[in-house]
């Protein structure tokens, strides 16, 4: 397990909250916005997101446009519906940060 400071984790989650609805960014861009080159640590922090519904970790993708290694099969929305991934036509159109 990669260790990260509580401050780094909170900063990652704060940036996730700033990603606009309908937009995506990359682990690398989040690391850059934090003044770091530790994008793999960013990925590990995001994978441990304790608040999946309210902190939009699903808006972060790999630099090559692929979805990261987050298991979303067990996500449920607040109203009880399964949250399904939408991977068709997913592209990184613009930088968020």
Is residue 57 flagged as an active site residue? yes
What's the rounded Cα separation, in Å, for the pair 56 and 26?
13
CA 88 to chain centre: 18
Of the candidates 80, 8, 74, 84, the residue with the CA atom closest to the CA atom of residue 46? 8
Q: Which is the catalytic residue, given 31, 42, 45, 57?
A: 57
CB-based contacts of 45, cutoff 8 Å, min separation 6: 4, 8, 9, 12, 13
- Residues annotated catalytic, as ranges: 57
């Amino acid at each position: 397990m990669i260790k990260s400071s509580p401050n780094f984790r909170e900063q990652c989650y704060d940036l996730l909250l700033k990603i606009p609805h309908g937009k995506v960014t990359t682990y690398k861009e989040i690391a850059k916005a934090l003044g770091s080159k530790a994008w793999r640590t960013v990925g590990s922090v995001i994978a441990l997101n304790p608040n999946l519904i309210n902190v939009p970790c699903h808006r972060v993708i790999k630099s090559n446009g692929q979805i990261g290694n987050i298991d979303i099969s067990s996500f449920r929305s607040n109203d009880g519906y399964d949250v399904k991934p939408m991977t068709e036509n997913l592209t990184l159109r613009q930088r968020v940060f």
